[in-house]
Amino acid sequence: MNQEKVIENTIKFVKKELESAEGGHDWFHIERVYKNTLLISKEEKVDDYIVSLAALLHDIADPKFYNGDETVGPKMATKFLEEQHVENEIITHVINIIKHISYKNSFDKTGEKFTSKELEVVQDADRLDAIGAIGIARCFNYGGFKNRALYNPEILPNINMTKEEYKNSSAPTINHFYEKLLLLKDKMNTVTGKKIATSRHIYMKEFLKQFDDEWNGIK
């Protein structure tokens, strides 16, 4: 099967699987990450086929919605790609990207390591969707989905969390900006990713200043 057909089938598969997904992790999130991936790839020497498949399949079964089970997504993606008769070497690379793309893996200093330019590109594309205007919208959408408080001045952000603490956190939504979103700019891998992240980072800081002023009745 040619690559264009596999990409087409992958899009159909992901759309169907995520048709009832939470709004911040639905098909439109995947589509934005896919577009960001293609944009960043223009300036990077990567395999476009691999990054496309990885971007489309990276959140096919987000562990947050599967009781923290990190094996569901890779298994689903592997099964699908095998059915599409994708070469084993490509499947292995795509699955490694899916396994290592998540921010929470940055907490694990002793686990299995994997690096590739393709991972760097898709990871940047995914992280870009977590910051800026869309990042703000997604953050509050998920906070509402989990019935979390918007903000509680008595619960301070924990910037020294372990991986398990991060996964199990139920802190107010505003805390997530300080525990993750504001940290992403300096964790970008590519030149293009860093450039886009900088403007989105500034936007988030302006939002938080406005939020703080309104919360405290300053304006």
pLDDT tens digits, one per residue of 129-180: 999 999 999 999 999 999 999 999 999 999 888 778 777 788 999 999 999 9
pLDDT score of 49 more than 90: yes
> Model-level pTM greater than 0.85?
yes
pLDDT tens digits, one per residue of 67-90: 677 888 899 999 999 999 999 999
Please give the distance of CA 151 from its chain centroid, rounded to a whole number: 23
Cα gap 82→74, rounded to integer Å: 12
Neighbouring residues of 134: CB distance < 8 A, sequence distance ≥ 6: 32
pLDDT tens digits, one per residue of 106-140: 656 666 688 999 999 999 999 999 999 999 999 99
Q: Which of 88, 32, 24 is nearest to 56 (CA)?
A: 32
Q: Which of 15, 89, 102, 108 is nearest to 49 (CA)?
A: 89
pLDDT of residue 64: 76
What is the set of domains in the chain, with CATH numbers?
A: 3-215 (1.10.3210.50)
What's the mean pLDDT in 48-57? 97
